[in-house]
Structure 1
Amino acid sequence: MNSSVLKANLFALLLVLLQIIAPIFLRPLINILGYGNVLISDEYIFLLIPCILFIIINGNSLKKTLSLKKLKFIDIIIVIVIAILCQPIAGFLSELSSIFFKNPVANALEKLSGLSLGFMLFFMAVTPAICEESVTRGVILYGYRRKNIFTAAIVNGLIFGILHLSPQQFLYAFVLGTIFVYLVRITRSIFASMLCHFTFNSIQVVASRAYMSGISSQSKAVLQGGYNKGILLLYKFSIAAIFFMAVVMLIKYLHKLHKNDNYLNTAVEKYSEREYSSAESKKGIVVVEYSPLVILVIIYILLMLNRYL
């Protein structure tokens, strides 16, 4: 049995449970520390610290587990471009989700509107890039190191989406999470997903500040004027589809640049295939490995039903 997968799934389940109970401990501190400081504390206390403890307890190498490898200059450029291209993709998925669910990010931004741009960037860009990436594209992805990249990306994206504990954020978090996995697997560096995450969120923060300042309100009115929501959503979908294809092409190009030095090599993939063949003959092993993930999904669905229905 590939115990690393079981450990990764158990760790993901633990983190989500911590995120569920975190408000019980942090809510009383909002009046004392402030809304922004409490949210930052949540990330470091209930994500980063468990991540570090998990690595220490399992006796793993920090550098190996988190894939701490320096990025090449061309990798940095490609990752930044991908982060920019992901904006309309996430925008469409967020708009689609907002039809059914409220957007918690908008509420958070409104509460933080009086804070400096620097603080907002630290809270919404730097902190998630460090804490969320260390957890998902670090510890959890390391647990899936012997699985093929597609399986690792889908599961990681699923966990990343659930970790946000918001159905409105789930779709775009899932897609971004899968993209981030490909970046890390190809470059063998978590700094790829950290940089992409940071750049993506930074653009969101700056755009939101511009919107709240009234800079983009007129342009929004122009875009929406004369169009119903369905037509606008269709327009955003067409733009998102084009940008998604561009992201796929860039990921393929990045893969080509690293085809001789990444761990998508055939030796690893063949190992994974043998692992899957063995697992298929022992259905119980698969059930045990993924049972925490199934429990995680069930808890998430029940929690969201309780909150939004």
Structure 2
Amino acid sequence: MKAKAVIAAPILLLVIFLCNFGSSFIPPEIIGTENDPYIVASLIQLFILVIPTLIFCRLRGGKYMKRLRFKGFRSGHTAFMFFALLLMFFGSCGINYLMHILFPDANVSSGYDNADGFAGGLYLVLTMAVIPAITEEFLFRGVILAEYETEGVPSAVLLSSITFAMLHFSFAKLPAYIFCGLILAVVLYTTRSIFAAMLVHMLNNTATIFFGDLIFRAVSSQGVVLFCLILVLFILLSAILMFGECERIYASYGVLNEDSSYTGKRKKGRGMAGIIHSIFAPIFMLLVILYIVIAAIGI
């Protein structure tokens, strides 16, 4: 399949968005949602995200999977990944709280109340943290980022983050998801491993499951001003430490004279031009319209 990225990637996402939307109309008694909603939702996500993406990879050719950075990360990347996780968690909490202030009626809660004991907690982690992290990273930091890389790295980072946020079909949570997508793209490029992005995503999901509503409870007990100051301090400290580790890792790449080329055939000079070309592609605009309609309906 030789279709350009600005055509092929949005088509794949259109299929996935429509399948996701269509799955909301399946009667609960048919798929067992009433009895076991989390595992059913995870299996549906596996089917909707992974199968179309695998077919897409197959159509792109036998060597396509090599572009997706399926290789392990180094032990020296652990500190960077930890600080990226902190920035991702505290940053998304702060953004969600800001959206809660601006739009009090919007649902920005991400916690889960029914983790019944240790076994229940493990079950939630598997269904709501592990499976979503693997499937979403395979699609967005894997295929979508690799596709848009031909339009330049800025386009790849931005478009993979925006479409990742759009998949969740929430206006209120859109800024936080875009922020998380940007952090995960930095993790991918710095470590050169999709598994690193999967792990950070997985740990952030886990933290959100158990501590996602903590920010709202803490505000009521500590006061808005004090809590916001503490949160901003954590965000700034995490960002400083993360980018410090990022600089150290890239310096080590230079010392070792490692290949710094990107996986796709990138067009020269595709900075802002690549972003504009990608965003204003007709099929991507259709994808945006579909997102707005589905998010407005509120699946």
Q: TM-score range by the shorter chain?
A: 0.7 to 0.9
Unpaired runs of at least 5, structure 2: none
Aligned equivalents of 2:273, 2:278: Cα separation in 1: 13
What fraction of aligned residue pairs are identical, expressed as a percent? 20
Distance 1:288 1:120, change over 3 A: closer
Distance 1:244 1:287, change over 3 A: closer
- The equivalent residue for 2:49 is 47
Distance 1:111 1:262, change over 3 A: farther
Aligned equivalents of 2:72, 2:194: Cα separation in 1: 9
Aligned residue for 1:168, secondary structure, equals coil
Aligned equivalents of 2:241, 2:172: Cα separation in 1: 25
Tell me which amino acid in the other structure corresponds to 1:157. Answer: S
Aligned equivalents of 1:287, 1:139: Cα separation in 2: 15
- 209, 212, 220: which one aligns with 1:224: 220
- The equivalent residue for 2:95 is 93
Distance 1:278 1:296, change over 3 A: closer
Aligned equivalents of 1:131, 1:268: Cα separation in 2: 22
- Pairwise CA distance, 1:289: 7.6
Q: Structure 1 length as normaliser, TM-score?
A: 0.79
- 199, 207, 214: which one aligns with 2:211: 207
Q: Once the two structures are superposed, what CA deviation does each residue of 1:235-257 show, in whole Å capped at 9, x if it has no partner?
A: 53454344334333333333333
2:77 is the counterpart of 1:75? yes
Unpaired runs of at least 5, structure 1: none
Aligned 8 A contact 1:47 1:135 in 2: yes
Aligned 8 A contact 1:96 1:233 in 2: no
Aligned 8 A contact 2:33 2:40 in 1: no
2:275 is the counterpart of 1:272? no
Aligned 8 A contact 2:165 2:178 in 1: yes
2:28 is the counterpart of 1:27? yes
Aligned equivalents of 2:190, 2:222: Cα separation in 1: 44
Q: In terms of mean alpha carbon deviation, does 21-30 or 193-202 score higher?
A: 21-30
- Pairwise CA distance, 1:95: 1.1
Distance 1:251 1:279, change over 3 A: closer
Q: Once the two structures are superposed, what CA deviation does each residue of 1:137-182 show, in whole Å capped at 9, x if it has no partner?
A: 1111110232332221111110111011122321121111112112
Aligned 8 A contact 1:85 1:246 in 2: no
Aligned 8 A contact 2:73 2:191 in 1: yes
Aligned equivalents of 2:198, 2:40: Cα separation in 1: 22
* Count of paired positions: 291
Aligned residue for 1:38, secondary structure, equals helix
Q: Once the two structures are superposed, what CA deviation does each residue of 1:202-234 show, in whole Å capped at 9, x if it has no partner?
A: 2223435xx7xxxx79x945x53463x466446
Aligned residue for 2:298, secondary structure, equals helix
- Pairwise CA distance, 1:131: 0.4
Q: Once the two structures are superposed, what CA deviation does each residue of 1:28-57 show, in whole Å capped at 9, x if it has no partner?
A: 423565111111112201111211121122
Distance 1:173 1:26, change over 3 A: farther
**What is the root-mean-square deviation of aligned Cα atoms in Å?**
3.5
- The equivalent residue for 2:189 is 185
- The equivalent residue for 2:243 is 248
2:261 is the counterpart of 1:261? no
2:19 is the counterpart of 1:14? no
Aligned equivalents of 2:280, 2:147: Cα separation in 1: 11
- Pairwise CA distance, 1:307: 3.4
- The equivalent residue for 1:66 is 68
- The equivalent residue for 2:179 is 175
